[in-house]
Every structure is written in C-alpha cells, then in structure tokens.
Structure 1
Amino acid sequence: MTPRRQQILSTAADLFADRGFHGVSMGDIGAAVGVSGPALYKHFAGKEDILGQCLLHASDQLLAGARELLSDVGQLEPDPAAPPAEAAEAALEALIARHADFALDNPALIVVQEREWGALGADTRAQVRKRQLAYIEVWCDALRPLRPDLSAEQARAAVQAAFGLLNSTPHSARIGRDAMRTLLTTMARAALLPDR
C-alpha cells in the first residue's frame, strides 16, 4: 500500500470514528489530507470504498501478523527440558500481546469496525468477515492445545470474548498505554487460560 493511500485510510478512520460514516463527506476527507474531495477518486471509488478498505486493511494486518508470529514461534528451537505446553503458551501470549498493541495503536479502527459495519456493502462485509474468521481460527489453533476441555465452538467463543476485552481500548484506555497494555494482556491471558 502506498503511503498516500495509507494516509487517506488512517485519516478517514479517524474522521469516521469521530463523526460517524454518514457525518463525513469525501470533501472532509480530502481537506483533512490536503487535497480536493474529487482528487480522492484517483485512489478510491468513493466513501464506501474507503470505509471498506479501512476494515479490509486492518483485517489483513491482523491475520498476516498472527500467521507470521506463529510461524516465527514455531521456528524457535524448543528447549528439550521445557514442557510442550510452554511453546503453545508462548504462541498464545504473543497473539494476545500483538492484538493488544494493535487495539491500543488503532482505536479509531476499533470504533469504526464496531459502529459502521452496516455501512459496508455486502461484498465488502463478506470479504472482511472471511479474513476475521481466518484470524479467529489462527487463535483457536493456538488455544485448543492448551484448552482441550473446549469444543471448537467454545474455543471460538472464548477467542471472540477475548477480542471484546482487548478491543475495549477506545472506551477504557485511560491509565496510560503501558499500564493499559499490561492490564489487557494479563486479563486476556487469565480469561483464556484460567487455570494457569
């Protein structure tokens, strides 16, 4: 993605989070990035396309990052003296930390995802949902070895509940970023692995 497209998406996400999708015009987005509204059509088909690209890009970042992270964790030399669950716990903890960082660094995207879902076209909603479901499955793949007591459906529900906690940042991050990150990661870990 070009830096200009990224700037437009980031600015639009901030505006959508602040004023709502219907409260923002192409002219508003253009003015915020220093171009005319019509100049934005060089990059996007319209305001709905910008909204869709915001959420698709966020979903792609989360999914690609999670897959890369688990691949990196899987390539680490295992400690022969360490219990097998240790590597699985490290993978889950890395996922939790990465998602907490994303949520803390992108509160506008969290708000837009939560509030503007209905403004997306059906095709874009399906594309975003497909990526989100794949992201949930990556988490479930990390969680299930640690929680054999959970069915596949229960693991998905637990992961989504953890996302709700981690994605609470636009409404709850009032204690400083580092303190909030520690609180979120500790709480998410305790929710997913209550007996550890």
Structure 2
Amino acid sequence: MRYLFFLVLSNSFCFGQIDSVKIETQPKFDAEFRMKIFHPIHFGSNFLAESNKSNFSFGLNLDVLEYRNFIFGGGIDYSHYNVTDVTRAGDVKTTKLKNFYINLSYKQPLTDKIDFMPNIGVGYSVITYSEYRFGNQNGNNFRIGFNVDYKLNETLCLFAGTTFIYNKYTINTSPEFVSFYDNSKILQLIIGLKIY
C-alpha cells in the first residue's frame, strides 16, 4: 500500500512539472507598439544616394507574438527626400519611400532594465515622386539590425538602434541605367518609444 501511495504521489508531481513546462513554452500573444524616428543614411551608387537629400523620417512597428524570446511583428517606415539632382531624378521636387515589412526579433536580457534585440525582416517597398504625379516604383526590402531597449516602467520603454535595409526595385529603363535605379542601401539610426 505504501508503494501504491508513493507511486500516485510521484506521478502527480511529474504531471504538475510537465504542465508547468508546457505553459512556459507556449506562444504568447502580447502586443508591443514601437514609434520611432530615424535618419536614413544612403550609400552606394544609386539614385536615392546621389540625387536626393534625406530628412528625418518616422516608423511604426507592432510586435504581436512571442515564443521562447523570439518575437514576431511588422511595421512601416516612411522616409521623405528632397531632390537635389533633377538630371538624374527627373523633374520632381520630392521623393517618398515607404517600406512595409514583417520582422523577427530575439529578446536577450542584459539587466533587469535593458534588453538587446537583434532583428531581421523582409517586406514590400513603394517609391512615389511628387505626390504620385510622376508615377511610382515598387520592389522588395530586406533588413537586419538591432535595438537596445531601456525599460522606464511597466508600460514604457526607450530604445535606440540601427537597421541596414537593402531595397530592390522593379525598373524599366535602358540596360546601362538599371543598376543605378533598381536598388538602394540604407542605414537607419533610430531612437524611439515602446509601449507594452
């Protein structure tokens, strides 16, 4: 009888431990909203780098799913440029770039208040010229970067980071001009606020 009691008791502890492990490893739906401003730095031989001057820009991001410190979300970046060389950019005054994307981050706590969060993502890009009067271009974007989050309280967090974005656009022009207009390389220097 003692052995039967011990067997039942040990089984209930085992099941209790298994259940608690399952709870900890279940995906968690928990929205975290980021608002950011950034300065896009363009480089390389392409039309955005050589024919436009970037202004401070802004973006929004919503993280919705967390699983074992991996966080899935998406967002939009909006950048505004003044055209500096009409011979290459055309007879337009402004250029606007919108990057829509999904991203995957990994939360690595460094202290109780600071998290290091590398991230990667892919998305869709649209460039418009002077309020659509001169058409648009679209393409894809690929991104990699990191944020460092500093928790202010239970609902607010400051963050800073950097993201490298490679855009590949669809273009129909003479072959010798394709490589100048079909891509852009952007480094974003970011600061922002996260709301839990």
**Higher strand fraction (1 or 2):** 2
TM-score by length of 1: 0.23
* Structure showing greater relative contact order (alpha-carbon pairs closer than 8 Å, 6 or more residues apart): 1
Larger Rg: 2
TM-score by length of 2: 0.23
